[in-house]
Amino acid sequence: MAEATSGRSEEEFQDLLRRLELALEASQIGVWQHNVNDQELLWDPQMHRLYGTGRRSARVASDVWMNALHPEDLDRAISDFQIALEGKGFYNSQFRIILPSGEVRHLRSRAHYYEDADGSPSFIGAEWDVTADVLLNRELASQKAIAEARAIALEQSRTRIEHAADHDYLTGLPNRRYFDRRLAELRRDTSVETVGVVHIDLDGFKEINDKWGHAAGDATLQSAAARISGAITANDVVARIGGDEFVAALVNVGNAEKLEAIANDIFSRLRREVRFGNEMLRIGASIGVALSQTGSAGNLLAESDVALFQAKKLGRNRVEFFTPKLQADLQAERRLADELRLAPMLRQIEPFYQIQVDAHTRCIVGLEALARWRHPERGLLNPAAFLKVADEYGLTAEIDAAVLKCALADRAAWMSQGLSPPRIAVNISGRRLADPDLIEGLQALRIPRQAIAFELVETIFLDDPDARVLANIAGIKEMGIDIEIDDFGSGHASLLGLVRLKPKRLKIDRQLVTAVTMSDEQRRLVGSIVEIARALNVEVVAEGVETEDHARVLAEVGCDELQGYAIGYPSSESEIAALLKSVRATRRRRSPRAPAGAGAGATGSARRRSERN
């Protein structure tokens, strides 16, 4: 019975062993045994296959294993084994081996400590190939690292994009978007009591760009950014909001005096020269300042802009504070500018004419066309009421053009009535004179030769003339239009301009003319202007001739022509038509064959019919 049982057990044991071998073979797990005192290993065939030994003997010297180990893993694998041995416990390790073919294989090894029948320490363990797992894990890890690196790069570029969207690339300062957001935050922030805004526009920046190139312009902007930043605290913010425009918001700045001190500091910092290579560049700044005491930063930017506008208007290079009156004035001015912009199109701009006479014969030799604005509500306006605004808003060129067109139409109408209008002088602004399309526009008007003269109002720029202006002046002369210098001696027109320009005539300024009867000195002054003009072959017109005394003295010192209230007031088209008719009648009465314009004094009649301004 016992034998039968043990026989069955033996059979069962054999069966179990076979199944175990099959399972091991299928799993490709190698089994090993190690008697530590023997320095010998027992390997099953699968172990030999794992190590690629090509041998089959079960006994293997322990240095076969050690020699197969990857040198980088050797120490760790041995130390793992030592630890298990000392602890008489579980051995668990993973290492690389190098096969005789040179192939590297990753093995996982696990073993159990036990003591042999003779008590010597031993391990029995299993080992299997985990190369595929390791490679897969490594691949996964590298994919993960790539994914993480991508995520970091993405995050970095997102912050970069966000920064770029909020900042100016050149100076690194925040931009308008950021600044608006910050102002909105300040408005909500209850801990903020006062906010000051300093609005800065660099003066002379365009000139630096034009003269020294863009690199110099960039350097100037960068230096301005650094200087403004240097004048404010870390709580404040400064932004670049336009080409050469900066704005700073000062948080809890206190009162107007403190704000003004900071604005002045920024102003003087900006006025210091900027080094560019070997050059020292000079700029200035117009600054507008606004302060909110209540903590509401609502209109501050608009208000500082109004103040800035005022600073520019007052001649730039200065600091101006916002006031409600400033705003009201500006609004009124803007309304006027809006109306004025439409005025030429609505035919509200028309010329009045003031006659010019020969200083000796008093015959009419010319008319000056003077702009008037027939305003629908305010009536007839003189240039004093609108020219300044026109100039500030860049509308003078349109007004000049409208006056010229009307003058040509009036002239044509007078001719068609059989009248002989003299040459008509129209005023031309510097802006129009610099217009690249000027000559083309004039050609389209088919202006008869010698019919028109242009009075240059601002001639100061002729000291440093623009090539385009000079080309336009040459073009104008070629078209048979005389060039005259207006207000000579007023400071606007210079002698240098006179020599450069070679005008047909110059008009002595009213102020010199009125003084001519007061002192010999003044008379000599006008006399020497006449002499210079003579030397340059330039005719002289005296304007602002208010009395008969003036007229006499001016004729004596050699002026060729006279214009002024003593001769005639600026008059409407119809009044001039009537005057020209009476001249014609007088001429016919005196001598039917007399040349046009000759022999007809104009003094009395023009004065009676004219506007008094």
- Residue ranges that bind Mg ion, judged by CB under 5 A: 427, 455, 486-487, 543
Strand, coil or helix: 546: coil
Instruction: State in angstroms the smallest separation of the CB of 267 from ligand C2E.
Output: 33
Among the residue ranges 5-13, 135-143, 328-336, 395-403, the one whose residues contact ligand C2E (CB under 6 A): 395-403
Neighbour tally for 486: CB within 10 Å: 25
Q: How far is CA 300 from CA 256, 290, 295, 307, 366, in A?
A: 14, 6, 10, 10, 54
Q: Which is nearer to ligand C2E, 260 or 546 (CB)?
A: 546
Q: Which is nearer to ligand C2E, 236 or 400 (CB)?
A: 400
Instruction: State in angstroms the smallest separation of the CB of 508 from Mg ion.
Output: 9
Question: Taking Cα atoms as reference points, which of 126, 93, 91, 94 lies closest to residue 112?
Answer: 91
DSSP annotation of 285: E
What tokens were used for 548? 């008969």
- Are the C-beta atoms of residues 314 and 320 closer than 8 Å to each other? yes
Our finding on whether 400 is near ligand C2E (CB under 6 A) is: yes
Our finding on whether 459 is near ligand C2E (CB under 6 A) is: no
What tokens were used for 405? 């067109």
Among 544, 557, 587, 605, binds ligand C2E (CB under 6 A): 544
Q: What is the SS3 assignment for 72-125?
A: HHHHHHHHHHHHHHHHCCEEEEEEEEECCCCCEEEEEEEEEEEECCCCCEEEEE
What tokens were used for 613? 């301004």
DSSP annotation of 213: -
Cross-strand partners of 126: 31, 110
Our finding on whether 125 is near ligand C2E (CB under 6 A) is: no
Among 228, 326, 399, 493, binds ligand C2E (CB under 6 A): 399
244 is catalytic: yes
Instruction: State in angstroms the smallest separation of the CB of 369 from Mg ion.
Output: 9
Our finding on whether 613 is near ligand C2E (CB under 6 A) is: yes
- Rounded CA-CA distance 17/23 in Å is 10
Say which entry of ligand C2E, Mg ion, none residue 540 contacts (CB below 5 to 8 A, set by partner kind): none
Say which entry of Mg ion, ligand C2E, none residue 399 contacts (CB below 5 to 8 A, set by partner kind): ligand C2E
What φ, ψ does residue 345 adopt, rounded to 5°? Answer: -65, -35
- Rounded CA-CA distance 171/241 in Å is 11
Among 1, 2, 26, 384, binds ligand C2E (CB under 6 A): 384
What contacts 163, CB < 8 A, 6 or more positions away? none
Instruction: State in angstroms the smallest separation of the CB of 542 from Mg ion.
Output: 10
Sequential DSSP letters for 434-490: T-TTHHHHHHHTTPPTTSEEEEES--GGGGS--HHHHHHHHHHHHTT-EEEEEEETS
Among 396, 472, 572, 610, binds ligand C2E (CB under 6 A): 396
Q: How many residues bind ligand C2E (CB under 6 A)?
A: 26
Place of tokens 């005008």: 503
Q: Which is nearer to Mg ion, 93 or 356 (CB)?
A: 356
- Rounded CA-CA distance 274/263 in Å is 19
Say which entry of Mg ion, ligand C2E, none residue 354 contacts (CB below 5 to 8 A, set by partner kind): ligand C2E
Q: Which is nearer to ligand C2E, 201 or 509 (CB)?
A: 509
- Are the C-beta atoms of residues 429 and 410 closer than 8 Å to each other? no
Among 565, 598, 599, 603, binds ligand C2E (CB under 6 A): 565
- Rounded CA-CA distance 583/590 in Å is 11
Among the residue ranges 84-92, 165-173, 268-276, 396-404, the one whose residues contact ligand C2E (CB under 6 A): 396-404
Our finding on whether 371 is near ligand C2E (CB under 6 A) is: yes
The residues in 420-439 that bind ligand C2E, with binding defined as CB under 6 A, are 427, 429
Our finding on whether 180 is near ligand C2E (CB under 6 A) is: no
Instruction: State in angstroms the smallest separation of the CB of 605 from ligand C2E.
Output: 17
Our finding on whether 612 is near ligand C2E (CB under 6 A) is: no
Our finding on whether 542 is near ligand C2E (CB under 6 A) is: no
**HSE on the CB side for 348, CA within 13 Å?**
19
Instruction: State in angstroms the smallest separation of the CB of 490 from ligand C2E.
Output: 9
Say which entry of ligand C2E, Mg ion, none residue 469 contacts (CB below 5 to 8 A, set by partner kind): none
Strand, coil or helix: 592: coil
Our finding on whether 442 is near ligand C2E (CB under 6 A) is: no
Could you report how far apart the first and last alpha carbons of the chain are, in Å?
151
Instruction: Draw the binding track, 341-370, toward ligand C2E (x: CB under 6 A; -: no contact).
Output: -------------x---------------x
Instruction: State in angstroms the smallest separation of the CB of 355 from ligand C2E.
Output: 10
What tokens were used for 400? 């000049």
Instruction: State in angstroms the smallest separation of the CB of 507 from Mg ion.
Output: 5
- Rounded CA-CA distance 563/542 in Å is 6
Question: Taking Cα atoms as reference points, which of 261, 398, 285 lies closest to residue 342?
Answer: 398
Our finding on whether 183 is near ligand C2E (CB under 6 A) is: no
Q: Which of 44, 129, 203, 244 is catalytic?
A: 244
Say which entry of ligand C2E, Mg ion, none residue 384 contacts (CB below 5 to 8 A, set by partner kind): ligand C2E
Q: 307-316 burial, b for 16+ CB within 10 Å, e for fewer? A: bbbbbbeeee
Our finding on whether 469 is near ligand C2E (CB under 6 A) is: no
Our finding on whether 198 is near ligand C2E (CB under 6 A) is: no
Q: Which is nearer to ligand C2E, 269 or 405 (CB)?
A: 405
Instruction: State in angstroms the smallest separation of the CB of 457 from ligand C2E.
Output: 5
Q: Which is nearer to Mg ion, 246 or 454 (CB)?
A: 454
Q: How far is CA 37 from CA 72, 81, 226, 266, 272, in A?
A: 26, 14, 79, 89, 90
Q: Work out the angle between the directed axes of helices 214-230 and 205-212 (0-180°, nearest 10).
A: 140
Instruction: State in angstroms the smallest separation of the CB of 364 from ligand C2E.
Output: 15
Sign of torsion, CA 469 473 474 478? Answer: positive
Q: Which is nearer to Mg ion, 248 or 370 (CB)?
A: 370
Instruction: State in angstroms the smallest separation of the CB of 283 from ligand C2E.
Output: 30
Neighbour tally for 403: CB within 10 Å: 23
Among the residue ranges 238-246, 313-321, 462-470, 538-546, the one whose residues contact ligand C2E (CB under 6 A): 538-546
- Rounded CA-CA distance 412/425 in Å is 15
Our finding on whether 452 is near ligand C2E (CB under 6 A) is: no
Positions that interact with ligand C2E (CB under 6 A): 354, 370-371, 382-384, 387, 396, 399-400, 403, 427, 429, 455, 457, 486-487, 510, 543-546, 564-565, 570, 613
Enzyme catalytic residues = 244
